[in-house]
Amino acid sequence: MPTVFEPKLISGNANLPLAKAVARRMSMHRGVNVGLVEARVERFNDGEIFVEVFENVRGEDMFIIQPTSNPANDNLMELLIISDALRRSSASRITAVIPYFGYARQDRRTKARTPISAKLVANMLIEAGIERILTMDLHAAQIQGFFDIPVDNLYASPIFALDIQAQFSDLSKVTVVSPDVGGVARARELAQRIGCGLAIVDKRRNKPGEIAEMTVIGDVEGQTCIIVDDICDTAGTLCKAAEVLSEAGATEVHSYITHGVLSGPAVERITNSVMKSLVITDSIQATDPVKAAPNIRILPTAPMFAQAILNIWNGTSVSSLFETETLMPIYEGFYG
């Protein structure tokens, strides 16, 4: 088997800007050009996906960068077919870099006769020849147990902590808020990182999709509130939580969300809401309305993913990237 000199990256169509940014960061770290493997990923007239890899990948350590965001089914199939093409081309190892793991919200049976789609997706990825998963902020941490291969789940909270420390001078007047009881652990972890208080917005529903009541647990009067969550889809709950916090005496409300799905009326709701800003990552490629929204800001994840890929390739620790201090030099150009 030939010696592997550099990790090799390949991308589907889900988030090409992120894939190119990861390649640029890896080139900076390595001091040599690390580009995307030349390939074509296209669709026939009937919607079938076709992949052709133009470079020799025999014996190479391959990393496929492909979030399974909207359209989730197309992007998932691209990932599976790229993996199959690499496996049949004798790649040494195939790692799927999935910044946003679609179907993660279907991680359990909520009622009778329903699927566990996240487990099905895990089975499909393994059958396609993928030997390792690198992702960020899985909606449910137990999804890692759906795989019989290594799964590295990165966290956006160290990046959020760096940004919050750069944006807010007096952290004693900042309170981190979980928008529901289920997200308390995530909010507490960020609050501990930046050394500030914690509050919870407790919501009750009369029926699915309809919020009957929201209550703030904790004192937010005179505080700058930062709502933290992993996914923002239609933004209904997020905007309502911001209103409730403002009514409870919060001076400002900001939100930090890892995955900006932002479907349907989300951008319009956020633009018209009392939130001063919504900060998301580029795990999902931003649409033009998201880029144009005056109160939405996007944080880069390429530095973190580039370092994680290099650590996997080198066989060194990925968990070191869980610490804010470790990310400081990686994000030096962004936060001084």
* Catalytic residue of the set 20, 119, 173, 203: 203
Following CA atoms 19, 21, 26, 27 in sequence, which dihedral angle do they give, to the nearest 10 degrees? 120
* Confidence band, pLDDT 50/70/90 cuts, at residue 325: confident
The interaxial angle of helices 16-30 and 302-314, nearest 10 deg, is 60
| CA-to-CA separations, 92 to 50, 95, 124, in angstroms, rounded | 22, 10, 19
Q: How far apart are CA 51 and CA 42, in angstroms?
A: 7
Q: Are residues 150 and 223 in the same domain?
A: no
Q: Are residues 99 and 27 in the same domain?
A: yes
- Residue 115 vs residue 182, higher pLDDT: 115
- Residue 233 vs residue 328, higher pLDDT: 233
Residue 178 lies in a domain: yes
Residue 243 lies in a domain: yes
pLDDT of the residue at 208: 54
Q: Are residues 278 and 171 in the same domain?
A: yes
Does position 49 have pLDDT exceeding 70, yes or no? yes
pLDDT of the residue at 207: 57
User: HEC string of the chain?
Assistant: CCCCCCCEEEECCCCHHHHHHHHHHHHHHHCCCCCECCEEEEECCCCCEEEEECCCCCCCEEEEECCCCCCHHHHHHHHHHHHHHHHHCCCCEEEEEECCCCCCCCCCCCCCCCCCHHHHHHHHHHHCCCCEEEEECCCCHHHHHHCCCCEEEECCHHHHHHHHHHHCCCHHHEEEEECCHHHHHHHHHHHHHHCCEEEEEEEEEEECCEEEEEEEECCCCCCEEEEEEEEECCCHHHHHHHHHHHHCCCCEEEEEEEEECCCCCHHHHHHHCCCCEEEEECCCCCCHHHHHCCCEEEECCHHHHHHHHHHHHHCCCCHHHHCHHHHHHHCHHHHC
Using only C-alpha atoms, the chain has a radius of gyration, in whole angstroms, of 20
Q: What are the pLDDT digits (tens) for 54-104?
A: 999 999 999 999 999 999 999 999 999 999 999 999 999 999 999 999 999
pLDDT of the residue at 205: 63
pLDDT of the residue at 312: 96
226, β-bridge pairs: 176, 254
pLDDT of the residue at 328: 86
pLDDT of the residue at 157: 95
Following CA atoms 40, 41, 42, 46 in sequence, which dihedral angle do they give, to the nearest 10 degrees? 140
Tokens of 145: 């147990």
Residue 3 lies in a domain: no
Q: Are residues 306 and 295 in the same domain?
A: no
Q: Mean pLDDT across the chain, nearest whole number?
A: 93
Q: What are the pLDDT digits (tens) for 129-185?
A: 999 999 999 999 899 999 999 999 999 999 999 999 999 999 999 999 999 888 999
Does position 332 have pLDDT exceeding 90, yes or no? no
Q: Are residues 283 and 331 in the same domain?
A: no
Q: Are residues 47 and 124 in the same domain?
A: yes
What CATH number is associated with residue 176? 3.40.50.2020
Q: Are residues 167 and 34 in the same domain?
A: no
Q: Are residues 241 and 276 in the same domain?
A: yes
pLDDT > 90 fraction of the chain, expressed in percent and rounded: 84
Give the annotated binding-site residues for ATP: 46-48, 105-106
Give the annotated binding-site residues: 46-48, 105-106, 139, 180, 205, 229, 233-237
Residue 163 lies in a domain: yes
pLDDT of the residue at 199: 97
Give the annotated binding-site residues for D-ribose 5-phosphate: 205, 229, 233-237
Q: How far apart are CA 302 and CA 249, in angstroms?
A: 37
Give the annotated binding-site residues for Mg(2+): 139, 180
Residue 174 lies in a domain: yes
Length of the chain, in residues = 336
Q: Are residues 87 and 185 in the same domain?
A: no
Residue 285's domain spans which residues?
A: 157-299
Residue 2 lies in a domain: no
pLDDT of the residue at 251: 97
Q: Are residues 81 and 139 in the same domain?
A: yes
Q: What total of structural domains would you count in the chain? A: 2
Does position 218 have pLDDT exceeding 50, yes or no? yes
Q: How far apart are CA 246 and CA 275, in angstroms?
A: 9
Does position 206 have pLDDT exceeding 70, yes or no? no
Q: Are residues 208 and 290 in the same domain?
A: yes
* Confidence band, pLDDT 50/70/90 cuts, at residue 25: very high
Mean pLDDT across the stretch 218-233? 96
Residue 306 lies in a domain: yes
Q: What are the pLDDT digits (tens) for 270-284?
A: 999 999 999 999 999
Q: How far apart are CA 80 and CA 100, in angstroms?
A: 15
Q: Are residues 169 and 252 in the same domain?
A: yes
Does position 2 have pLDDT exceeding 50, yes or no? no
Catalytic residue flag (residue 203) = yes
Q: How far apart are CA 295 and CA 192, in angstroms?
A: 26
Residue 120 lies in a domain: yes
